[in-house]
Amino acid sequence: MSRAKRHYLPGYVWHITHRCHKREFLLKFHRDRKKWLYWLYQANQRFQISILNYIVTSNHIHLLVFCDGEENDIANAIHLASGRTAWEYNKRKKRRGSFWEDRYHATAVATDNHLIKCMVYIDMNMVRAGVVNHPRQWPYCGYQEISGNRQRYTIIDKERWVNFFGEDIRTFKGTYDIWIEEYLNSKNIQRESYWTESIAVGGED
């Protein structure tokens, strides 16, 4: 299997994907999804990153993150969240072996309509999988924070939205719901591989 592509330039938004080893459903339990979110929260406190969206599924994660510091900030954040989740799972299950595929994949995303589409694409992951009908029904995604349903241990940098989209937080929440509804009403809700396999998504510049 080829290794996942991973590049870095400061001042960009990155769509991170990381899959469980051999795509096994190692995140199928509530406690392990919550553990990944807990350690992501801790990583967000320790490293210079701005998290814009995320989701934990049964066998992989998506993370949308802005970073204008060192490359190691992203790598260290993922290492903490993924490494601690794996260690605690293996200890509880008395399991040995890899929990994750060896590398995460990083795709640069332009901060225009592509960023909006990527945010929605992440939140709609479990809708595409047929598990839920709306992202509000999946408690392990950024939509819960964007909509205001989660108040404690929030991770998303809402002020960064204001910088990117030029809307205040309250207006942005309403706009985001419109984007979600438009996606739900569209006929194209299939997986789009360029979000998870490309080096970059956006205009030529």
Q: Write the DSSP assignment of 140-193 as a string of letters.
A: TBTHHHHTT---SS--B-HHHHHHHH---HHHHHHHHHHHHHHHHHSS--S--T
Query: Does pTM surpass 0.85?
Result: yes
* Cα gap 103→46, rounded to integer Å: 21
Q: pLDDT truncated to tens, each residue of the chain (205 aa)?
A: 444 555 667 789 999 999 999 999 999 999 999 999 999 999 999 999 999 999 999 999 999 999 987 768 999 999 999 999 999 999 999 999 999 987 899 999 999 989 999 999 999 999 999 999 999 999 999 999 988 776 677 899 988 988 888 888 888 888 899 999 999 998 777 788 888 888 889 887 7
